[in-house]
Structure 1
Amino acid sequence: MPSPRRISWQGPVCGIASAVLYTLTNIALRNCVDVDAYLVSAVKAAPTVVVLGPLVGWLSIRPASNRPARNNPAPDRTSANHPSPATPSRSAFRRLPQFILASFLAQFFGNAAFQKALERIGLAASVPITLGVLIVGGAILGAVLLKEPVGRRKVIAMLTLIVAVVVLSLPDRPVNEPLNDSLSANTETIAAAEPDLPEPALPEPDLPEPIDLVVGSLWAAVSGLAYAFFGVTMRQTLQTGVPARNLMLISGVTGSVALWGFCFATLGPAAILSTSPSQWMLMVTAGCLNFSAFVAITTSLRLLPVVAVNLINASQVAMAGVAGVILFDEPITTRLAVGIALTFVGLIILARRTRAPIVITD
């Protein structure tokens, strides 16, 4: 067991680091919207394979006597339904095909769909929609597949998140639109009184088209559903004793093979090679940041209660909103402000006194 002093500072630091790293990942991905979404996702999966491949290979061939005994759980925690993580059960092999399917969906639809959402509706709206659908879908799938209880607090949080997703998916005006309406009305009155005067041009806000907002919101929802299924399937497979690092490696390999194969079949080598060096750098950076965020949040989950990690992780929504507005000039709308606020409230409600595990996107 880690010492209390270590928990006191390393747990919160790793939790905050994971939220910041995931936000930086999304910022890098937002800068890659001009690149094919599947190519971005393929490059993003590569760092996981490059880092975890040698590590898992070395751990699998080193002598068992060198493994620290403290990693073995106490005998009273081991049962037929929850075997030791150090000794995967036979059911692990039956779960692996389902996990590979979930990994394919998370990589092909989760990552790629999120990239398409960024292209359509931007960073500030994509993150809360994806996160809201992810948590609601994860709670429903957890109740169905894992028989996890759904208490009153979780139901309230889910309803709040559903309302937030609906609000974020509706078209809206900028927060200063009433002023523009008043100015427009005054302009029409002046123009009617003096028809010879040219009508002054009013600045048009850079808002997504209604079709882009609907399609982008759907892509974000698809991404959240794919991540939710991946999270629940990963928890199921972890119960069979397979280490988390092995599952992440399987997910990365599955995504790399599927996405790179799809890119070569649809784009062709010439189009892939025409990608600029700066775009390659941004995609690789996004993959490295994403893997670092996974390591940080995994460490935080080992040192802090899930409640605290969930609460820290909720800060991603605010970070994404600020980054979208400041870095990418995404418009501040009433819809966006209300949707982000509702998402944040729903995550806080979910984090308080709930034992539901946090869902980590791939």
Structure 2
Amino acid sequence: MPNSPMWLGPACGLASAVLYTLTNIALRKCVDVDPYLVSAVKAAPTVAVLGPLLCWNRWVGSSTAATERPFEQLTALRLGRFIGASFLAQFFGNAAFQKALGYIGLAASVPITLGVLIVGGAIFGAILLGEAVSRRKIIAMITLIVAVVVLSLPETTANETTVSRSAAEILTGSLWAALSGLAYSLFGVTMRMTLQHGFRSNVLMFVSGLTGVITLWSYCAVMLGWNTISRTSPDQWLAMTAAGFLNFSAFVAITASLRLLPVVAVNLINASQVAMAAVAGVILFSEPITFRLAVGIGLTFIGLIILARRTRAPLVITD
């Protein structure tokens, strides 16, 4: 984007962080809905928006890279690999994150997922892409691992029964959040592998969304049944649909920001969603402010800042 104003890049980066936070708030409102149904509805707006757009570009003969490298030129191996990663991101990324929200809330789920996502992305990137793991990245990873452990610890209380129940809920929710981050990290690395062959991110996001729509809706139809699905309230349908459109809008904003700013700057701006999630969890959902939560969020910020400084690690994209 030549001749763009200097404020546009930071504005797009901040918009993406806000939009991702709004997405998570909408998802937090749906914790009483089956997480696979939530994920199925969330995936639909990406297909609804990108599908017609890609068809239109193809129809009018657009000269963009997305149409120069059409779907049929994706080799069976690359396509199968990316669809597999997309499936994991939908079932063990989106759905697992939704389950974590029900156990430990918004303020704790976001930093755990983000921390594991970054650590897993560095590990998978080293294994699958041969990306170097610098000393700075190792220190950041250790800091983020400590943050995840702290956030996964139960709070101490005088009531032993409460401690046991709280410990079980926190551990379960933390494991779901960690599984979500791991699935997202594998998806991000697989997407980078596919992008290296010249394919546009909007094409791959459409394939990922379509994978989610087909597999998740099929799962819901078989396991939940249409009678159960039809009992979902209009407010819940609205919140789930809003989460999907907000998530897609956040992806568009962060893509625009990456065209205008270094990845380091975008990573730092986007990390602000950790604080936004904590504030939203406390104010909107009355999630308790605890010493464990404050320390864990603080360590997450420190790890992200260490990672971002003089680091060229690509931004990890969640689905």
Please classify the TM superposition score into its range, dividing by the shorter chain length.
over 0.9
Mapped contact 1:7–1:304 kept (Cα < 8 A): no
1:2 is aligned to 2
Q: Give percent identity, aligned residues only.
A: 69
Could you give the per-residue CA deviations for residues 282-315 of structure 1, whole angstroms, max 9, x where no partner exists?
0001111000000000110111000100000110
Residues 1-362 of structure 1 mapped to structure 2, 5 A cutoff: 2-3=2-3, 6-63=4-61, 67=63, 86-87=68-69, 92-173=75-156, 209-362=166-319
Question: Which sections of structure 1, spanning at least 5 residues, go unmatched?
Answer: 73-83, 185-204
Which structure has the bigger radius of gyration? 1
Task: Check the 8 A contact 2:155/2:163 in 1, yes or no.
Answer: no
Counterpart contact for 2:155–2:166, Cα < 8 Å = no
Q: Residues 7, 98 of structure 1: CA spacing in aligned structure 2 closer, same or farther, 3 A cutoff?
A: farther
**Conservation of the 8 A alpha-carbon contact between 2:12 and 2:253:** yes
Q: Is the 8 A contact 1:164 1:338 kept in 2?
A: yes
**Bigger shift: 205-214 or 127-136?**
205-214
Q: 1:262 and 1:241 mapped to 2: Cα distance? A: 33
| Cα distance in 1 for residues equivalent to 2:213 and 2:99 | 18
Aligned pair count? 317
1:273 and 1:27, CA in 2 relative to 1: closer, same or farther beyond 3 A? same
**Residues 85, 238 of structure 1: 8 Å contact kept:** no
State the TM-score, normalizing by the size of structure 2. 0.95
8 Å CA contact 2:107–2:280 kept in 1: the answer is: yes
- Counterpart CA distance in 2 for 1:86 and 1:92 is 15
Greater per-residue helix proportion: 2
Q: Deviations over 1:238-268 (max 9, x none)?
A: 0111111110000000000010000010110
Q: Distance in 1 between matches of 2:164 and 2:244?
A: 29
Tell me which amino acid in the other structure corresponds to 1:41: S
C-alpha deviation, 1:271, in angstroms: 0.5
| Preserved contact between residue 45 and residue 256 of structure 1 (Cα < 8 Å) | yes
CA distance in 2 between partners of 1:43 and 1:249 (Å): 15
Cα distance in 2 between the residues matched to 1:98 and 1:212: 34
Question: Aligned AA for 1:263?
Answer: C
For residue 97 of structure 1, what is the amino acid of its counterpart? Answer: G
Shift of residue 92 of structure 1?
A: 4.7
Give yes or no for contact 1:44–1:288 (8 Å, CA) kept in 2: yes
SS in 1 for 2:25: helix
TM-align CA RMSD: 2.2
Relative to structure 1, the CA distance from residue 158 to residue 86 in structure 2 (aligned partners, 3 Å threshold; closer, same or farther) is farther
Structure 2 partner of 1:197: none
